[in-house]
A and B are shown apart, each in its own frame.
Chain A
Amino acid sequence: MTELLSLENINTFYGPVQVHFDLSLTVGRGHIVCLLGGNASGKSTTMKIILGLVKPQSGIVRFDGQPATGLPTPQIVRRGVGSVPEARRLFGDMSVRENLLMGAFVRKDQKAIAEDLDRVLGLFPKLAERLAQRAGTLSGGEQQMVAMARALMGRPKLICMDEPTMGLSPLWVDRVLDLIAAINKEGVTVFMVEQNASLALEIAHHAYVLQTGRIVLQGPASQLRADPRIRDAYLGGQEAA
């Protein structure tokens, strides 16, 4: 297995507060890797560091064999990192179609973009009916689909997803997880941050558990699924540390 993304000894601060303590993790090419943890464990900040939205105080981010620490977000996106942000963050006043095309903003190959639009709509057939609708008027689950489709439109090597199942009904949670698996089958590496550990571990290959800025547990998802410590760690229990 080759690695697509690695974080090495990341230390991050928000003002005087330290968020990450020597955080290291790797994401293998073609994998779904899951970062689990409770509130304020530093999950979302990890995502922001990968995307260049937050700069770590020290440590190295490597993407696709090249250092990517401290690069501005647009450059990181150009290198092949797509994002499904927390709470979707669609462009609410733009149509679904415009949202999807915004996903291909860094690309110039108009013909291939048009093909990808068809391909993505094949993956998310529901969206085909909604192309002209304002994105802000969709339901939460539909918005999540737009957000994922939008990320795919950039033809990323890696998609980062921040709590993709947050705020969705159980039915939609299953659907979204299936879609993530489907995206992954197409060859896209997925790094996702989740609170919903048991569900995320169903589709993930590998997982890390983050607790107040430190990795306290990691391993193949199949192992972690059976590990009683996962629940403790993720609920902030003391035994896990």
Chain B
Amino acid sequence: MSSWIDYTVNGIIIGNIYALLAVGLALIFGVSRLINFAHGSVYVVGAYAGFLAVTHLGTPLPVTIALVVVVGALLGLVIERFGLRPLQGYAHIAPLLATIGISFVLDQLVQLFFTPDPRALPSSLLETRFQIGSGTIGALDLVIAAIGLASAGLLYTFLRYTRLGWAVRATAQDRDAAQQMGVDVDAVNRTVFAIASGLGAVSGLLVGMYYNYIDPAMSFQATLKGVVAQVVGGVGNVPGAIAGSLLLGLVESYGIALFGTSYRNLFAFVLLVAVLVWRPNGLFASKRQTPPEPMTGTFIAPSRPIQIPGKVLLAAAAVAALVPLVLPHPYVLQTLTNSWLYALLGLSLTLIAGTVGLVSLGHAALLAIGGYSSALLALNFGVPVGIAILSAGLIAALLGTVLVFPSFRLRGHYLSIATLAIGEIVSLVILNWEWLTRGPIGVSGIPSLSLFGIELDTDRSVYWFTLVLVIVLAALQLRLLGSHLGRVLRAVRDDDVAARSYGIRLDRYKALAFAFGSFAAGVSGGVTSHIYSYINHETFNAQLSILALTIVILGGMGNVTGAIVGSVLLVGLPEVFRVAAEYRVLIYGLVLLLLVRFRPQGLLGTV
């Protein structure tokens, strides 16, 4: 049993590592109002660059650090070049989505080069530990603390006493005014990305040495931790980010001491949601308010949706229905069935993100809620599968809405981050709530699909079942969009202040849309669980949330037909062309990146 001193030391060291990430995110947010979701990828690349240097070149620590800083800084410049610069003047959520795309691409490249297997990243330091009181502190701990302190000192000197540092501060406070003083804000952006990414890369190196473990999947969690620390300290606030990081490190460390390792991230995300809901300007915000967020409407590129005549839609549905008779190949049918399931998810998200403008980054959580609900109802209580799936939809609608409800007053980025965190919380609760969800073991032996006592045991029947679900829910959603209610929802998206001044209760309408959307996602999750017959906490992971968003943007935000088309293209096509799984995420990332840049209104146009 380690002592409290050990946990404190550990918390501070981890806090230092988070601080290197969070400070970079804060700097970037400061000058460009962008939450850089590729930051975790920089961290991973930094860890692997260090790994290569140490294992292949045998570099001593100072050289390794210098190398990693350079690699990180260069990568930062690349991210700025492709993720931010071409998107100036776009809605603020556009560069955010672009950085998500970039992070998919980078993570996948790291995985292709180094395989997904974890590696050891030995630190060349002696395993010396010094006794302090009842605890100990290691040489590596001291090095990490020293690097943290030195970085903070250098950063302070830079911002305070150099010309470029002044330019960075001026740009962060008022970009236009800084330009009118002759500041080249693009150069400022590049500088900030280079510095932030250099620090982020070092963070990856240090964490790798600290745990003597690196793997490509660390990226997403690193981004999240950085974001949590930054939001806790107040977005864009550099000293706040450091304080937030140390707090987060300590909370995690003590949390592990009290409850165990698997709860670690739960604390981080609960802290995040709590801060977002109660103190959205951060715990250490000055009196000054953070700059107002871009409006909720976020990512609606003005466009005229492509009108598809009803006859064509009916014909398309008929063709889809005939596929099993014409092409009774099981592989084709399974692939398309999969596309229909994703189409349900797409319908859900296109309503929530497109029609109402709540860009959710945690949509997979609704699948998970639906999947577990249906599976457990059928397994534990012998509920007929059809009813279990229906209940799964209702439970997802209810639970999803209740969970997100407190976040409805958040706007733009903040709402997206909150949904991301809620998604992670759901997944962690599933992992830890063992008596209900069977924890890490997962739920197996889920009864296969059946309806009114009839087993849907052929590929053909499953195909038709999911197709009918898509058609029915899509038709309902089209009706909804055409109704008075649909107009109100769009009004909420386009201008919530105006909508409110017409007496529209925003929360209720957001909740209504969220519930309707969550129902479709829950049903999709439920059906999936019965088809797979086994699910665990990773079946519906965060990647699916991003895939869902890509589907929706590809089809056109708010566009019902678009969501179905997007799903067939993104889920179906790679299957048909048998693209190896490791390239698929790469493709999703590239598609997202290209869409945001070149066709933000999607293929069929936003509605």
Contacts and interface: CB of A to CB of B under 8 A. Distances in A.
Interface residues of A, number: 24
Interface stretch (B169-177, B528-536, B544-552): B169-177
B183 A74 contact: yes
A82 B412 CA distance: 35
A83 B169 CA distance: 19
Contacts of B288: 92-93, 136
Interface stretch (A101-109, A169-177, A187-195, A211-219): A101-109
A85 B182 contact: no
B90 interface: no
A92 B180 contact: no
B181 interface: yes
Interface residues of B, number: 17
B300 interface: no
Contacts of A93: 169, 173, 288
Contact of B163 (A92, A105, A150, A154): A105
Interface in B139-180: 163, 166-167, 169-170, 173-174, 176-180
A168 interface: no
A5 B177 CA distance: 21
A9 interface: no
A73 B176 CA distance: 10
Contacts of B163: 105
Contacts of A103: 181
B179 A74 contact: yes
A90 B181 contact: no
Tell which of A89, A90, A98, A154 has the most Cβ of chain B within 10 Å: A89
A144 to B, nearest CB: 14
Given A105-B163, A136-B288, A91 B180 contact: no
A77 B169 contact: no
A60 interface: no
B182 A94 contact: no
Contacts of B178: 91, 102
Interface in B89-111: none
Given A91-B169, A102-B170, A73 B180 contact: yes
B459 interface: no
A78 interface: yes
B300 to A, nearest CB: 15
A154 B182 contact: yes
B166 A105 contact: yes
Interface in B440-462: none
B174 A89 contact: yes
Interface in A4-57: 51, 53
Given A105-B182, A106-B182, A154-B181, A85 B176 contact: yes
B182 A89 contact: no
Interface in A185-210: none
A91 B176 contact: no
A98 B170 CA distance: 10
A106 B166 CA distance: 12
A136 B163 CA distance: 21
Interface in A76-134: 77-78, 83, 85, 89-94, 98, 101-103, 105-106
B166 A83 contact: no
Contacts of B176: 53, 85, 89
B179 A91 contact: no
B163 to A, nearest CB: 7
B182 A74 contact: yes
Interface in B171-218: 173-174, 176-184
A154 B180 CA distance: 11
A166 to B, nearest CB: 16
B182 A78 contact: yes
Contacts of B182: 73-74, 77-78, 105-106, 154
B29 to A, nearest CB: 15
Contacts of B174: 89-92
Tell which of B178, B182, B288 has the most Cβ of chain A within 10 Å: B182
A150 B181 contact: yes
Contact of B179 (A53, A90, A150): A53
A74 B173 contact: no
A74 B181 CA distance: 7
Contacts of B179: 53, 73-74, 77
A74 B177 contact: no
A134 to B, nearest CB: 10
Contacts of B183: 74, 105
A94 B181 CA distance: 14
14 contacts: A74-B179, A74-B184, A77-B182, A85-B176, A85-B180, A89-B180, A91-B177, A93-B169, A94-B170, A101-B166, A105-B181, A105-B182, A106-B182, A154-B182
Given A91-B170, A93-B173, A105-B183, 11 more contacts: A77-B181, A78-B182, A89-B176, A89-B177, A93-B169, A101-B166, A105-B167, A105-B170, A106-B182, A150-B181, A154-B181
For the complex of A and B, list the 8 residue pairs with the smallest distance between their C-beta atoms, beginning with the closest.
A77-B182, A106-B182, A89-B177, A83-B180, A73-B179, A91-B173, A105-B181, A74-B182
